[in-house]
Amino acid sequence: MAAPFANGAPNSKLVFEKSSFDDPKSSHERVLNTKYFTHNASIILPYSSSAAQLQFEISEIQDQQVTYLIRDVPVHQLVDKEFIEAFVKKGQLYILSQRRHIDTHNCAAVFPTGHLLLHITKDTYEQLGLEGKPSVFSSLKPTKYVVDIDLKPDSFTPGRKGYDRVLWCLKDRLGLTFDLLISWNPHDEKICASSVSKFFKSKGLVVSPVPWCVQTQWQNKVRTPVLDSTVVTATEDACGRAEAWEWLGAMACGIDLSESCADNYISTLSCPTPSGSCPRCCVLSVSGFFTPVTTKWLLEKVRNEVESKQEKNKVPWGSVTFHGFQDSPVSVGSREHGFFQEGDNLHSFLTFCNKDYWLYSAYGHHDLCQ
């Protein structure tokens, strides 16, 4: 008898939350504040007028934060006392290693909580000599280890045993270097956020600003699903959350649903029913390295578009999706994140004009779901 064919598809996780921005217990602020690294934001806005325009300038995104790419940074620079005092303790610092694959390479990140996280391979870990934990996604024989160093305590200072040991291990035992994406929000508004780039330049490193890249598409006469913020399971009057999620994905990927139907040979994906006609739909995608400051700004702009009372630019609902880095060592807060076939960690807000919102949080197989 033939053995059954195992399914084998990885377990993905999709968390759906329905809440209101007016709810004092709403978790949208907490989610965005702890989603430290965002790579891309996709905005979808179906307008009810064919002459509609965006009411905000996406180029203002550059005023929210400055990001730098610093090449070949020796990792011991990040535990430099001068650096800790000037930047880690005096602002929110976001650092992520670039062009490193979390499943096979060494990765590094610094969070605004003041923690330096090294996500390193077994060989590197054994040479390093600092205490860490095996990655929670490891099998019986771990191949990746996580070393967490708290940079903020006053006791982490030259002359103390712990600091000297960390510095010696990072500097003398191992010459680890990374290309780092870095963004800093100083607590003191009088200090310029670009100071961090001057610091690294003074150390003789190559620093270059990271530009953001925007793509805007206006689509005419699009079929859009009819949504009701109180109806999450499909009914005759409104589409459910699952149908809306797939439709949003199709729009973000630029899939043309106008000609597809359920018995089409090439594709059976079609716009969910009931649907309405939308004269003009904006699909905007902006890529870069975004911190919570920018993601909160973007969510606010999308909310303003949806909640504004202008007849001309009426939008029944709008969506903004924040894609995290696939190779980020954490997804939200300090929850470990990995890559197994896919490294999804994204949060999608579907906002309604009555201030309700649906939040989709999609994680890959290697992620600690809440």
Partner 1 sequence: MTGDSEKHSYLRQVDKSPAPYFYIKTSLEYEGRGLETDSLQLKHVIMQSMTEVFGQVGASDTVDVLKLSASGEALLRVPSRSFVKLWGALTLFGKYNGLPCVFRVQQVSSSLMSLSCNSRTWDIPAMS
Task: Please list, in sequence order, all residues whose beta carbon lies within 8 angstroms of the beta carbon of residue 82, skipping any fewer than 6 positions away.
Answer: none
Binding segment toward partner 1, per CB under 8 A, in 55-63, 147-155, 170-178, 208-216: 208-216
Tell me, residue by residue from 238 to 257, as one string, x for binding to partner 1 by CB under 8 A and - for no binding. Answer: ---xx--xx-xxx-xxxxx-
Contact between 192 and partner 1 (CB under 8 A)?
no
CB of 169 to partner 1, least distance (A): 29
CB of 15 to partner 1, least distance (A): 5
CB of 157 to partner 1, least distance (A): 34
User: Which letter does DSSP use for residue 174 in this model?
Assistant: -
Contact between 5 and partner 1 (CB under 8 A)?
yes
Distance of CA 358 to the CA centre of its chain: 17
Contact between 17 and partner 1 (CB under 8 A)?
yes
- d(C-alpha 114, C-alpha 87), whole Å: 10
Contact between 285 and partner 1 (CB under 8 A)?
yes
- The total number of residues shown for the chain amounts to 370
- d(C-alpha 132, C-alpha 217), whole Å: 46
CB of 53 to partner 1, least distance (A): 23
Q: Which of 3, 154, 265, 309 binds partner 1 (CB under 8 A)?
A: 265
Contact between 346 and partner 1 (CB under 8 A)?
yes
Contact between 15 and partner 1 (CB under 8 A)?
yes
- d(C-alpha 27, C-alpha 37), whole Å: 18
Strands 345-352 and 133-134: unpaired
Tell me, residue by residue from 96 to 115, as one string, x for binding to partner 1 by CB under 8 A and - for no binding. Answer: --xx-x--------------
- d(C-alpha 130, C-alpha 125), whole Å: 8
Is 167:116 a contact under the CB 8 Å cutoff? Answer: no
Contact between 341 and partner 1 (CB under 8 A)?
yes
CB atoms within 10 A of CB 88: 25
- d(C-alpha 324, C-alpha 102), whole Å: 13
Applying CB under 8 A, which residues contact partner 1? 5-20, 22-23, 25, 39-40, 42, 69, 71, 98-99, 101, 179, 208-211, 230, 232, 241-242, 245-246, 248-250, 252-256, 265-269, 285, 287, 321, 323-327, 341-342, 344, 346, 348, 360, 362, 364, 369
